[in-house]
Structure 1
Amino acid sequence: MGSQVDVYITLVAMSGVLNLFLGIYAFIHRKDIPNARTFLIYIIALSLYIFGFAFELASDSLAEIKRWIVVEYMGMPFAAVFGLLLIFHYLGKRVPRFAVAAMFVIPVITLLMVATNDAHHLFYKSIYLRTSSPSPLVDISIGEWYIVHGAYTFACLLAGAVMLIRRWPQSRGTFRPQHVTLTFSQIIPMVSSFLYLMGATPQGIDPVPIVLSITSCMYFWAIASSRMLTIVPIAKEIIFESMREGVIVLDSARRIVDYNPALAVLMPEAGNWMVGRKLPEAWLKLTGTSFPAGETIDGLEEELEWTTGGRKLTSLIRTSQVLGKGGETLGTLLLLIDVTEQRRLQDQLRQLAYTDVLTGIANRAQFFHLGKLMLKEAAASRSFCSFLLFDLDFFKRINDTYGHDVGDQALVHVAKVCKRSLPPRAVFARYGGEEFVIGLPGASMKEAGEVAERLRLALSGEPLRMQSDLLQITASFGVAEYAGGSGTLESLLRVADAALYEAKRNGRDAVMLAAATAESAE
């Protein structure tokens, strides 16, 4: 019998050590654990109960046993309440402060009853050493308050287990390791206590301190499976699951703790592999791009683009802090709103506003915007800047002879031919009708004239191919130069326009460099 008790003491002590390790881990990572204070006190209460029981078994006298029983009850009745509070918090159920205080009334009375039992015998009617045992084990005769305490503790464990079991169908895979751990942390001690009270345990010894080592191992398993100790889901599951926007939930250490199904629409690679990883690491794998923000992502609102499945996606990324009841930061919600279609429509509207619909090059409004910027840069850097105006020769004859459809084809053809021969920085736009305009930053009059001549030759050398004919297209060019001074874009274009009409008067299909400056044309 003595050796059996020694083995039992060893097992109980091992259970206590596991609880201590769990408590040390929780303390070290308390900043990353929601509701860490409640969890730590829960572990301390369990440890007091377990080690108190181990020292009770190792005691040599009844007086010493009674002292360690008091230590046990400094932990055991309180652990049941703290465990229930963890479950309330896990399920998102708010418990008013007065209700929390009321939950500890019976445990406090129980501790006082145990500590003063010799004066009233309301907890134990009697407690005595077993005469048949060589080891100093005790038997008890329970009193009235023992029944109250036992019923209350059993009710706390049962209430927690029932709530968790009812919530199981709604639990996401991400949180199921925690859900299982919390559920069994209620069921295992409850069943063990029942067997003890029924006298079904070996040598009539309380098995609860030993089986608590199982719940400790399960907590370690929950830590390993989710790579963190997240006792509380930050988001409400029902709302979370039904949201149309993709959501990533981060803890206070910027690690991913959950995501909703809508995220998989935006990021097909999303999965449970993300849980426990830092956001930048997971983001790189999900999108192939780096997350734009650093460690401080609070208040982020930015549009990001990535390609998935050959489709380019644009999302508006917003972040929002998740605060606890006391104002402490529990984590961050990363909201991803799909604005791909909205961005496409905005791009189309922008293109319609600044692009000529027929030819696909810039329109008159866009040219004036870019042309004025070009003049400002030239004035600031004291460099050259030139402009070309050209229109198609005998364009009215094309429309009258072949119809406006062919006329439109001719305009598109001219735009394509010219774009192939223009410098990269050139601004090319349709000025109106059959007239086109080109801005050449950094180009002198001579250089602009060379560009115009190259375009003239390209157009005359590449006729428009129709079904049964080739349509020869030529153009006349006027070139004006800005070389500093107070000239405006409008005055330069008037100078270029005058040169253009001079080219037409001289027989068309020609390039004419303006003799006048912008200042003289104003």
Structure 2
Amino acid sequence: MGSSLTMYISLVATSGVFTLFLCLYAYLKREEMAGARTFMLYTTAQAIYIFSVAFGMASSTLQDIENWNIVQYVGMAPAPALGLIVVLQYTGKTVSRRMAAALFAIPVLSIVMVATNEYHHLFYKSLSVRAGSSLPFTDIVIGQFYVVHGAFTFGSMLAGVVLLVRKWQSTKKAYRLQLVTLIVGQFLPMAGAFVYLMGMVPNGMDPVPVILCVTSAMYIWAIVSTRMLTIVPIAKESIFESMGDGVIVLDSADRLIDFNGAASRMLPGLGVGLIGRTLDEAWIAMTGSPFPLNTHADVEQEAMRWQAKDGSYAFYQVRTSVVRGRVGESIGSLLMLIDVTEPRRLQEQLERLAYHDGLTKLLNRTSFIYRGKQLLREAQESGTPASVVLFDIDFFKRINDTYGHETGDFAIQHVASVVNRLLPPNALFARYGGEEFVFFLPAAARSGAGELADRIRAALAAEPLQADGETIAITASFGVSQSGSDGATLQALLKNADMALYEAKREGRNRVRLFEEAYPA
């Protein structure tokens, strides 16, 4: 019997040495090894447990056995929780602080219960040296919290095994050897703990420390042969969730079956409640309209404008990719959304600066001439008249000199706003330069253009500018010219309108004049 005890203690001590080696390895590889800190704590807890079992078995008095038993639980109680966290990290799952605190609640209580058992006997109802035995075997009668601790220990190990087994199909063959090692490393101690708790071992010897000798040896072998824990497969779902681009997964019937966190952030309203709906149905629920692009081709499509129901918008480059099965058949598709909102908005801003006036947001002179030529050509081809109206603000320099340039800018914006309100939708309106404006009226004869110009003139005179507590009267002078059958160019129409405008100013301003051939050049 003594030789059996010696062999048992020797095996336990060997297990402790192996475990310490694993702890040292994790420390040396801490820069390469994800979760090194957790693995170091895990192997340290196991080493405390293993060596305290050996020292307890080498003790000869009940008091010494009880003292080493308390130390034993300092390592044994948190070890299952730490092992489960190692598995969670290996499988790519995030362990929050709240989750970690919950996992260590029962281990901490177990340590406290064992240390204070003589006051409440909730962990052990009784603990005594076995009568008639020359070896330090103990007889225990378990208490209520012993059951709680045992259930937590078994449950934590079982959860680790289940998590690892579930990763089998998604783990590449190159990593399955280390996965097997981790599964066995979780399963064997769990089986040993179960056998021990059921009282199925001879002489009440705890088989777990000896089993840990086997599992530690397996870990060392796996580390040497597969670089286990330093080269770890990244879980596919971790890659999926950590991608900066949005990804939407569809089945062969275009039904939404999955999406990542980036997609839900890019598309407000995209949630689990839409899973199972077709992409068009989901898009209608989010935006009010069907999905605008094709989803059945491996292509990169142009930027799609996302317009949410609240009016916010963004631009996404859409890449579609067909997902194929083992024999090449189409089983679904992936949509990857790449946020190009900022570049697109910058492009729009540059376009606005290139074609629009920055102060009034109207077309600038260059854009007006380019588009006006097109409209004039269309009018001439169709044989319909078209008119150009050129006008500027009267005494604008006086406004600038009296009230300042900022108020002068307000005056220009005020005029643009009033005129915009009265122009027909097909008019081409631009800031021609400084305080001067122009609009082109397709399908409008000179008399009709003159009447519209006079209504605008009256509206400006009736609506003075309110700025900084001041009421500032604003009037404008207008010149009107019309294209005819002579094939006049836009430049000629603008020149004629400018001559009519000059006449309006010469006659006293705040009036409209139509171009007449009799005007001097």
When normalised by structure 2's length, the TM-score is 0.51
- Rate the CA distance shift 1:273–1:382 in 2: closer, same or farther, 3 A: same
| Superposed CA offset, 1:27-62 (max 9, x none) | xxxxxxxxxxxxxxxxxxxxxxxxxxxxxxxxxxxx
The answer to whether the Cα contact below 8 Å between 2:296 and 2:320 also exists between their aligned partners in 1 is: no
The answer to whether the Cα contact below 8 Å between 1:304 and 1:316 also exists between their aligned partners in 2 is: no
- Tell me the distance in 1 between the aligned counterparts of 2:466 and 2:241: 59
**Structure 1 residue 514: Cα displacement:** 0.8
Which segment is superposed worse, 500-509 or 490-499?
500-509
| Superposed CA offset, 1:465-488 (max 9, x none) | 344543222221111101344222
- Tell me the distance in 2 between the aligned counterparts of 1:486 and 1:240: 64
The answer to whether the Cα contact below 8 Å between 2:392 and 2:478 also exists between their aligned partners in 1 is: yes
- Tell me the distance in 1 between the aligned counterparts of 2:250 and 2:470: 68
The answer to whether the Cα contact below 8 Å between 2:315 and 2:339 also exists between their aligned partners in 1 is: yes
The answer to whether the Cα contact below 8 Å between 1:388 and 1:478 also exists between their aligned partners in 2 is: yes
Aligned to 2:286: 286
Alignment of 1:413-492 (within 5 A): 413-467=414-468, 469-492=470-493
Alignment of 1:238-387 (within 5 A): 238-293=238-293, 296-299=296-299, 301-302=301-302, 303-307=304-308, 311-323=312-324, 327-387=328-388
**Structure 1 residue 374: Cα displacement:** 1.4
- Tell me the distance in 2 between the aligned counterparts of 1:168 and 1:269: 34
The answer to whether the Cα contact below 8 Å between 1:287 and 1:307 also exists between their aligned partners in 2 is: yes
Which 4+ stretches in 1 moved above 6 angstroms?
168-171
- Tell me the distance in 1 between the aligned counterparts of 2:398 and 2:338: 54
- Rate the CA distance shift 1:375–1:401 in 2: closer, same or farther, 3 A: same
**Match of 1:317, as an amino acid?**
V
| Superposed CA offset, 1:312-333 (max 9, x none) | 3332322112345655434321
Aligned to 2:408: 407
- Tell me the distance in 2 between the aligned counterparts of 1:262 and 1:168: 27
- Rate the CA distance shift 1:452–1:337 in 2: closer, same or farther, 3 A: same
**Structure 1 residue 162: Cα displacement:** 8.1
Corresponding residue pairs, total: 300
- Rate the CA distance shift 1:245–1:368 in 2: closer, same or farther, 3 A: same
- The residue matched to 2:366 in structure 1 has which SS? helix
The answer to whether the Cα contact below 8 Å between 2:503 and 2:513 also exists between their aligned partners in 1 is: yes
The answer to whether the Cα contact below 8 Å between 2:295 and 2:333 also exists between their aligned partners in 1 is: no
**Structure 1 residue 436: Cα displacement:** 0.8
| Superposed CA offset, 1:334-386 (max 9, x none) | 11223333333333222222221222322112211221221122123221110
**Match of 2:471, as an amino acid?**
L
**Match of 1:241, as an amino acid?**
E
The answer to whether the Cα contact below 8 Å between 1:250 and 1:332 also exists between their aligned partners in 2 is: yes
- Rate the CA distance shift 1:250–1:389 in 2: closer, same or farther, 3 A: same
**Structure 1 residue 170: Cα displacement:** 8.9
- Tell me the distance in 2 between the aligned counterparts of 1:280 and 1:467: 52
- Tell me the distance in 2 between the aligned counterparts of 1:329 and 1:170: 20
The answer to whether the Cα contact below 8 Å between 2:295 and 2:320 also exists between their aligned partners in 1 is: no
- Rate the CA distance shift 1:272–1:411 in 2: closer, same or farther, 3 A: closer
- Rate the CA distance shift 1:433–1:328 in 2: closer, same or farther, 3 A: same
Alignment of 1:487-506 (within 5 A): 487-506=488-507
The answer to whether the Cα contact below 8 Å between 1:494 and 1:521 also exists between their aligned partners in 2 is: no
**Match of 1:266, as an amino acid?**
M
- The residue matched to 2:319 in structure 1 has which SS? strand
- Tell me the distance in 2 between the aligned counterparts of 1:479 and 1:422: 15
- Rate the CA distance shift 1:312–1:169 in 2: closer, same or farther, 3 A: farther
- Tell me the distance in 2 between the aligned counterparts of 1:357 and 1:343: 19
- Tell me the distance in 2 between the aligned counterparts of 1:325 and 1:485: 72
The answer to whether the Cα contact below 8 Å between 1:378 and 1:484 also exists between their aligned partners in 2 is: no
**Structure 1 residue 449: Cα displacement:** 0.5
Q: CA RMSD in A?
A: 3.4
- The residue matched to 1:424 in structure 2 has which SS? coil
**Structure 1 residue 390: Cα displacement:** 0.9
| Superposed CA offset, 1:134-190 (max 9, x none) | xxxxxxxxxxxxxxxxxxxxxxxxxxx98961628999xxxxxxxxxxx9xxx9xxx
- Tell me the distance in 1 between the aligned counterparts of 2:240 and 2:291: 23
The answer to whether the Cα contact below 8 Å between 1:304 and 1:317 also exists between their aligned partners in 2 is: no
- Tell me the distance in 2 between the aligned counterparts of 1:515 and 1:266: 60
- The residue matched to 2:261 in structure 1 has which SS? coil
The answer to whether the Cα contact below 8 Å between 2:300 and 2:317 also exists between their aligned partners in 1 is: no
The answer to whether the Cα contact below 8 Å between 2:296 and 2:322 also exists between their aligned partners in 1 is: no
- Tell me the distance in 1 between the aligned counterparts of 2:382 and 2:376: 10
Aligned to 1:395: 396
**Match of 1:380, as an amino acid?**
E
The answer to whether the Cα contact below 8 Å between 2:357 and 2:364 also exists between their aligned partners in 1 is: yes
- Tell me the distance in 1 between the aligned counterparts of 2:170 and 2:264: 19
- Tell me the distance in 1 between the aligned counterparts of 2:236 and 2:377: 56
| Superposed CA offset, 1:486-507 (max 9, x none) | 2221111011111111222222
**Match of 2:358, as an amino acid?**
V
**Match of 2:247, as an amino acid?**
V
**Structure 1 residue 432: Cα displacement:** 0.6
- Tell me the distance in 2 between the aligned counterparts of 1:274 and 1:343: 29
- Tell me the distance in 2 between the aligned counterparts of 1:169 and 1:244: 26
| Superposed CA offset, 1:102-152 (max 9, x none) | xxxxxxxxxxxxxxxxxxxxxxxxxxxxxxxxxxxxxxxxxxxxxxxxxxx
**Match of 1:351, as an amino acid?**
R
The answer to whether the Cα contact below 8 Å between 2:386 and 2:482 also exists between their aligned partners in 1 is: yes
- Tell me the distance in 2 between the aligned counterparts of 1:284 and 1:472: 51
- Tell me the distance in 1 between the aligned counterparts of 2:169 and 2:311: 36
- Tell me the distance in 2 between the aligned counterparts of 1:459 and 1:270: 49
- Tell me the distance in 2 between the aligned counterparts of 1:287 and 1:473: 44
**Match of 1:498, as an amino acid?**
M
- Tell me the distance in 2 between the aligned counterparts of 1:484 and 1:325: 71
When normalised by structure 1's length, the TM-score is 0.51
| Superposed CA offset, 1:301-322 (max 9, x none) | 1413221566333323221123
- Tell me the distance in 2 between the aligned counterparts of 1:298 and 1:280: 19
- Tell me the distance in 2 between the aligned counterparts of 1:430 and 1:293: 38
- The residue matched to 2:289 in structure 1 has which SS? coil
- The residue matched to 1:292 in structure 2 has which SS? coil
- Rate the CA distance shift 1:328–1:482 in 2: closer, same or farther, 3 A: same
Alignment of 1:139-158 (within 5 A): none
Alignment of 1:189-204 (within 5 A): none
- Tell me the distance in 1 between the aligned counterparts of 2:469 and 2:270: 57
The answer to whether the Cα contact below 8 Å between 2:300 and 2:320 also exists between their aligned partners in 1 is: yes
**Match of 2:288, as an amino acid?**
G
**Structure 1 residue 424: Cα displacement:** 2.2
**Structure 1 residue 265: Cα displacement:** 0.6
The answer to whether the Cα contact below 8 Å between 2:295 and 2:335 also exists between their aligned partners in 1 is: no
